Amino acid sequence: MKKAKVIDSQGAVKAEIDLPESVFGYPAKGHLVYEAAVNYLANQRRGTASTKTRAEVKGSNRKPWKQKGTGRARAGATRNPLWRKGGTTFGPKPRDYSYSLSKESKRNALRAALSAKQAAGRILILENLALSAPKTKEGASLLKALKVSSALVVDLGANKNLFIALRNIPKVKPVEPSRVNTHDVVGHEWFVAGRDAFTALMERLQ
pLDDT band of residue 63 (cuts 50, 70, 90) is very high
- Percent of the chain past pLDDT 90, that is, above it, reads 91
Ramachandran class of 158: left when φ > 0, alpha when ψ lies in -120 to 50, beta otherwise: alpha
What residue ranges do the domains of the chain occupy? Answer: 3-46+100-205, 51-91
| Four-CA torsion 146, 21, 171, 14, nearest 10 degrees | -20
Cα separations in angstroms, 42 against 39, 54, 100, 140, 184: 5, 29, 10, 31, 14
The whole-angstrom separation of Cα 12 and Cα 172 is 22
- Percent of the chain past pLDDT 70, that is, above it, reads 100
Rounded mean pLDDT of the chain?
Answer: 95
Cα separations in angstroms, 198 against 97, 98, 130: 32, 29, 15
Segment (H or E) for 65? none
pLDDT band of residue 27 (cuts 50, 70, 90) is very high
pLDDT band of residue 9 (cuts 50, 70, 90) is confident
For residues 182 and 4, which has the higher predicted lDDT (pLDDT)? 182
- CA 99, 36, 4, 20 torsion-angle sign: positive
The whole-angstrom separation of Cα 155 and Cα 87 is 50
The whole-angstrom separation of Cα 68 and Cα 12 is 88
Q: What is the pLDDT of residues 83-140, one digit of tens each?
A: 999 999 999 999 999 999 999 999 999 999 999 999 999 999 999 999 999 999 999 9
Instruction: Say if domain 3-46+100-205 classifies as CATH 3.50.50.60.
Output: no
- Residue 64 neighbours by CB under 8 Å, 6+ apart: 75, 77, 78
Query: For 163-185, what is the mean pLDDT?
Result: 97
